[in-house]
Structure 1
Amino acid sequence: MQQDALTGDRNTTLKETVVGTLRGAGTATGQLASGLGTALTALLVLLWLALTAVTSLIGVGLLMAPGVLRALHAVSARERTRLARWGPEVVAPEPPPTRLRPALVDPTTRRELRWMLRHSTLGLLLGLLGVWLPLFAVRDTAFPLYWTFMPKGLTATSIGIGSAHSWPEALAVALLGLGWISIVLGLTPAMARAQAGPGRRLLAAGPETDLSLRVVELTATRAAALDAHATELRRIERSLHDGAQNRLVGVTVLVGAARRMVARDPAAADELLERAQSAAEQALAELRTVSRSILPPVLADRGLTGALSGLAADCAVPCRTDVDVPERCAASVEATAYFVVAEALTNVAKHSGATHATVTARARGGRLRLRVEDDGRGGADEDGGSGLTGIRRRVAAHDGSLTVASPPGGPTTLEVDLPCGA
């Protein structure tokens, strides 16, 4: 019995080791592949930077400098977002400058340049290996299954050395595939760490950054998020208590009265049942309204593009949408974007006196940017009960930003910046 227990424990340990190795290699491969995307972008920005530096000798590059600096900061922010998806958050420093002279002496910009040089070279190479090695492993390991169906000139190994003309040679290629698998299982986690290392060291806030301000900001946004959550729960409870619950109580009373009257006055009982059915239908409609206010089903059915188009179509003011969101964001981010636009369009219809509104949404570099603009009278006041405080709390819960420009006489522009994956 003791021997059987020891054997079972060893089998369990072996199984956990195998599963952990496979899971670690799969995660590392996905991390390397995602790093390949930012490495290619960093390489393009690096080439643009080199072109800007060369053409600055004749003055042309000076005009491109703000653009290339914004691109540098954008790809760095995208890398921070990517690293946060695969591990601990990389705390961003204060926003670096985009003007040339301050950027030349800014330590954050210098660290981002050092990261870009490493990521566009070593990071690119590691990303390519992270994609190619699994393909090599699959191709060579499965080689005996299909080599007889291929033309003789196409029966070489994945690295192009040697070719198979017989079954022993095909099995030798399969052994090479097993070698690729060993490399993938053994080295990809270290490769992923090597690819992410420069970003975690160089893109995080440096020693000159006062992180106490960041802690205060995060504490405030967390408190705002909890307050917004509590407010939302109170709204849902009030809607259910004052609406659907009261109607359902009325249904119960009417049904009870109808049961007592059905024997002596069937006509009156039928009238009461009809009233009970009408009250039940109204309660069902209110329950649907409350459920839609929690998480609109249109987001799951049609995505953010369709949901924003529906909001624009239902707006009392003619509204045009311009949405370019190629990939789905996190469900909580899409819900926040939906409610922000819904509240903004409600404000436009109620308070602005506008004749036209525009909703713009863009997803780039791991950020979702919303813009709602109208040609109304302006003068929007966050303290005037316009719903802007609620919008700011929703945005702050995702560590996003809200900017409102509404001079007297208009126009009013509301801009929101959200992380796509939060």
Structure 2
Amino acid sequence: MTTRSTTEAPGAGAGPRKAAARTLRDAGAALAQLARGLGTAVPALAVLLLVVLAAVTAPLGVGLLLAAVLPRALHALAGRERARLTRVGPEVVPPDPPPVRLRQALTDPTTRRELRWLVRHATLGLVLGLLGVYLPIAAVRDTLFPLLWPVAPADATSTSLGFGTARTWPEAASVTLLGLGWTAIILGLGPALARLQANPGRRLLSAGPGTDLSLRVAELTATRAAALDAHATELRRIERSLHDGAQNRVVAVTVLLGAARRMVARDPAGADELLERAQSAAEQALAELRGVARSILPPVLSDRGLAGAVSGLAADCPVPCRTEVDVPERCAASVEATAYFVVAEALTNIAKHSGARAAVVTARSRGGRLRLRIEDDGRGGAHEDGGSGLAGIRRRVAAHDGTLTLASPPGGPTLLEVDLPCGS
């Protein structure tokens, strides 16, 4: 079992180390976002070229045939970009479905906004995405050039910019300064470049001020209802646990103590036996009360954070379980509690129903989102109607406006993915 978490030891250097780690983490996340932007920037360039070709050949009639399929391609690509931006930051609320017929699309405000995004993303977004790939390669190449120089061809270009040839060791070592410059650009400007790439999509692909948000309102209404249902279900569970467990134990303690008090004079040995039974019942009641308290909000979350809590769940799971937790900053307490119960319920299902030999739990937080991934190599076939608690997990996740995805084909493996906003 391996667990990766970020903890800072107390001391004077903890603050600078934490700031440096945050800078490196933000720069790495920014480069990843820029590179992923190529997944929509390259198709955007292709669609933009098709739009230009359709406009140029429209008088010949060929462009009209091509333009008939362009609205669908544009809307599909814009939907992919909304999904990408939502995964790394605040949700990009889509507008009403735009028309796909050419004549209606030409006058549709949403289509026009998507076309404006297309031009920006196919040009500036593509360049920024290429920078996200090029900058780390150039930084590593130039920084390590003095190590590569002895084995490089004599006429090889020294710098990643394509000019300069090192003839001596000092000249080779000076290339390292360029590599450090690339690194400084990544650390200082990486997040800004990622925001610059994402801003057109967030501004132009989201629902405009005049867009009907009734579907989103209906979704939030359903989410609130699910949250209330989950809350009521949790209260009923706590009430049953207290009534059927701890309360009965306390009643038994009261009865035993009364019987022991009446017997103490005439049968001290019998009274002592009753007192032992009362003590045992009191200890069981205390243990059940602690269990109920832990189920409300596990103390391990406050003491050890989500990384420690998930590690504890994996250690207690009968199925060998490996964990990978990369949650540098604390999420809201309710989100951590939901994540804890999702992992706990999933591991319980794995132990009871899957027949798995191994499981993996992954938790990562990026861009204000907490993502959980629980996978096992069991027999599969899990579904929410099987009484496995998956419906309860979905209600908990929906209460935070999160998403749950389950893939469990017959024969396995089973993959459960949960995406939660960290701040709700």
Question: Does the 8 Å CA contact 1:243/1:283 hold for their aligned counterparts?
Answer: yes
Alignment of 1:10-409 (within 5 A): 45=34, 80=90, 92-93=93-94, 107=113, 205-206=207-208, 209-409=211-411
What is the identity, as a one-letter code, of the residue corresponding to 1:352? S
User: How far did 1:239 drift?
Assistant: 0.4
What is the identity, as a one-letter code, of the residue corresponding to 2:292? V
Cα distance change, pair 267–218 in 1 and its aligned pair in 2 (3 A):
same
Cα distance change, pair 71–220 in 1 and its aligned pair in 2 (3 A):
closer
Q: Distance in 2 between matches of 1:282 and 1:105?
A: 66
Cα distance change, pair 220–261 in 1 and its aligned pair in 2 (3 A):
same
Q: Distance in 1 between matches of 2:390 and 2:244?
A: 25
User: How far did 1:230 drift?
Assistant: 0.4
Uncovered stretches (5+) of structure 1, i.e. residues with no partner: 1-36, 58-65, 82-90, 97-103, 118-196
Aligned identity (percent) is 76
Q: Distance in 1 between matches of 2:363 and 2:397?
A: 15
What is the identity, as a one-letter code, of the residue corresponding to 2:227? A
Cα distance change, pair 92–108 in 1 and its aligned pair in 2 (3 A):
farther
- 2:184 matched to which residue of 1? none
Question: Does the 8 Å CA contact 1:45/1:71 hold for their aligned counterparts?
Answer: no
Q: Distance in 1 between matches of 2:415 and 2:207?
A: 31
Question: Does the 8 Å CA contact 1:112/1:202 hold for their aligned counterparts?
Answer: no
The one of the two structures with greater contact order (alpha-carbon pairs below 8 A, sep at least 6) is 2
CA-to-partner distance for each residue in 1:130-181, whole Å, 9 max, x for gaps?
A: xxxxxxxxxxxxxxxxxxxxxxxxxxxxxxxxxxxxxxxxxxxxxxxxxxxx
Question: Does the 8 Å CA contact 1:344/1:372 hold for their aligned counterparts?
Answer: yes
Question: Does the 8 Å CA contact 2:375/2:414 hold for their aligned counterparts?
Answer: yes
Question: Does the 8 Å CA contact 1:114/1:202 hold for their aligned counterparts?
Answer: no
CA-to-partner distance for each residue in 1:199-219, whole Å, 9 max, x for gaps?
A: 997675225754111111111
What is the identity, as a one-letter code, of the residue corresponding to 2:242? L
Question: Does the 8 Å CA contact 2:246/2:285 hold for their aligned counterparts?
Answer: yes
Question: Does the 8 Å CA contact 2:81/2:201 hold for their aligned counterparts?
Answer: no
What is the identity, as a one-letter code, of the residue corresponding to 1:374? D
User: How far did 1:350 drift?
Assistant: 0.7
* Residue aligned with 1:383, SS: helix
Cα distance change, pair 74–294 in 1 and its aligned pair in 2 (3 A):
same
User: How far did 1:375 drift?
Assistant: 0.7
* Residue aligned with 1:386, SS: coil
User: How far did 1:94 drift?
Assistant: 6.1
What is the identity, as a one-letter code, of the residue corresponding to 1:289? G
Question: Does the 8 Å CA contact 1:405/1:412 hold for their aligned counterparts?
Answer: yes
Cα distance change, pair 205–361 in 1 and its aligned pair in 2 (3 A):
same
Q: Distance in 2 between matches of 1:198 and 1:339?
A: 38
User: How far did 1:92 drift?
Assistant: 2.6
Q: How many residues align?
A: 284
* Residue aligned with 2:329, SS: coil
* Residue aligned with 2:404, SS: strand
User: How far did 1:323 drift?
Assistant: 1.0
CA-to-partner distance for each residue in 1:338-365, whole Å, 9 max, x for gaps?
A: 0001101111111111111111111001
Q: Distance in 1 between matches of 2:336 and 2:261?
A: 48
Question: Does the 8 Å CA contact 1:341/1:372 hold for their aligned counterparts?
Answer: yes
Q: Distance in 2 between matches of 1:413 and 1:78?
A: 21
* Residue aligned with 1:224, SS: helix
What is the identity, as a one-letter code, of the residue corresponding to 1:414? L
User: How far did 1:107 drift?
Assistant: 3.6
CA RMSD of aligned residues (A): 4.2
User: How far did 1:224 drift?
Assistant: 0.8
CA-to-partner distance for each residue in 1:191-249, whole Å, 9 max, x for gaps?
A: xxxxxx99997675225754111111111111111011001000000000000000101
- Using the TM superposition, name which of 203-212 and 292-301 deviates more: 203-212
User: How far did 1:113 drift?
Assistant: 9.3
Question: Does the 8 Å CA contact 1:312/1:319 hold for their aligned counterparts?
Answer: yes
Uncovered stretches (5+) of structure 2, i.e. residues with no partner: 1-25, 47-75, 98-109, 125-198
The two structures have a TM-score, normalised by structure 1, of: 0.58
User: How far did 1:262 drift?
Assistant: 1.2
Q: Distance in 2 between matches of 1:353 and 1:281?
A: 35
Cα distance change, pair 336–109 in 1 and its aligned pair in 2 (3 A):
farther
Q: Distance in 2 between matches of 1:109 and 1:360?
A: 38
- 2:153 matched to which residue of 1? none
Q: Distance in 2 between matches of 1:110 and 1:387?
A: 46
